[in-house]
Copies of this chain bind each other. A is one copy, B any other.
């Protein structure tokens, strides 16, 4: 089965929400592969949103991709949106570069480098605004998936997990996870904030403020406001959101969905963390080893892995009965319309 476990529910009004944010943390050399260079990662969320929505990018000359050439997971997410017809709303939770398509504005600021004292000074405001939005969306939708595009977001995720006392090992958009750099950055960040491992386990929003990124604040707030079935669509970044929800004691119908690439990442501990935090998880495998497109086969080697809610988007396609092969072919079609294959 290409999605495990196979989802047996059929929502009437599904909704996909994609939270976009920047953090200065992504500018630290070697941290993020979500863009051709650290500076270009500023443009990645905007370009991802444009790609999912329109099949083209406007904010940069070509879609975001890893330095290796593997394409952004927005390609997978667009494939699913085309197949399923699920509406997608984008949220600006703190961007340096705003997309040239419609989006929901939370009046949030981009995150700081976590090595500064405060990473997300407006975490509480973001949380509140997002919770208000969630309450509204609950009246319209009966099933909400929450994806994200935040370059550098696994490092901030690690920071929050550590502040909450979890030995969460996070994944990476690089096939070779720069875990050493992340550990060092997180250590420096904790020192700058005057905190230590687990010292904020009872203050989850403070952990986001000190060590997180604006997406973590927005996603947690959204879950708070939503009282419908909710799936966090992402890898270890969304595990960090689960850790915040758990620490807050929020009782919501929340699961997590990600790709097989995150689950198979030995440098991370997705399964261990979701079991520890006690949330159901769904794992999706796009079957890219069967693809004749080199950029997609790079996923099988551990490039990119996840993002823009790609794992959850596959789950959504599976929920509507699309097969792995149909999904892969639609993804190839989206890829071909974007990139000239040499």
**Given the complex, which residues of B lie within 8 Å of A87, measured CB to CB?**
135-137, 139-140
Q: Which B residues touch A132, using CB under 8 A?
A: 53, 101-102
Among listed A103-111, A249-257, A321-329, interface-contacting one: A103-111
Question: Which A63-115 residues sit within 8 Å CB-CB of chain B?
Answer: 85-89, 92, 98, 100-107
CB of A216, distance to nearest CB on chain B (Å): 18
Confirm or deny: A238 has a beta carbon within 8 angstroms of a beta carbon on chain B: no
Give, as a whole number of angstroms, the nearest-CB distance from A50 to chain B: 11
Determine the residue in chain B with the shortest Cβ distance to A141.
B140
Asked if A133 CB lies within 8 Å of chain B CBs, one says yes
Chain B residues within an 8 Å CB radius of A141: 140
Instruction: Check A129 for interface membership: any CB of B closer than 8 A.
Output: yes
The answer for the CA separation of A142 and B88 in the assembled complex, in Å, is 17
How far is B105's CA from A100's CA once the two chains are assembled, in angstroms? 10
In chain A, residues 311-331, which have Cβ atoms closer than 8 Å to a Cβ of chain B? none
Q: Is the CB of B105 within 8 A of A104?
A: yes
A136 contact set on B, CB distance < 8 A:
87-89
| Interchain CA distance A92-B92 in the complex, whole Å | 14
For A129, what are the chain B residues with a Cβ–Cβ distance below 8 Å?
101-102
Residues of B close to A88: CB separation below 8 A: 136
Q: A87 to B137, alpha carbons, bound, how many Å?
A: 8
Q: Is the CB of A103 within 8 A of B102?
A: no
Give the CA-CA distance A86 to B141 in the complex, in Å.
Answer: 13
Q: Which residues of B contact A100 (CB under 8 A)?
A: 107
The reply to whether B102 and A13 form a contact with Cβ atoms under 8 Å apart is no
Q: Is the CB of A104 within 8 A of B103?
A: yes
A15 close to chain B: CB less than 8 A = yes
A203 to B53 Cα, complex, angstroms: 28
Instruction: Please measure, in the bound complex, the distance between the C-alpha atom of A87 and the C-alpha atom of B225, giving whole angstroms.
Output: 13
Are the CB atoms of B133 and A102 closer together than 8 Å?
A: yes
Pick from A15, A101, A140 the residue with the most CB of B within 10 Å. Answer: A140
Taking CB atoms, residues of chain B closer than 8 Å to A15 are 140
Which of A87, A102, A141: most chain B CB closer than 10 A? A102
Point out the residues of chain B lying under 8 angstroms from A105, CB to CB: 92, 98, 102-105
Are B139 and A85 in touch, CB under 8 angstroms? yes
- Closest B residue to A105 by beta carbon equals B105
The 10 closest A-B pairs by CB, nearest first: A87-B136, A140-B140, A87-B139, A105-B105, A102-B129, A102-B106, A103-B105, A102-B133, A13-B140, A104-B104
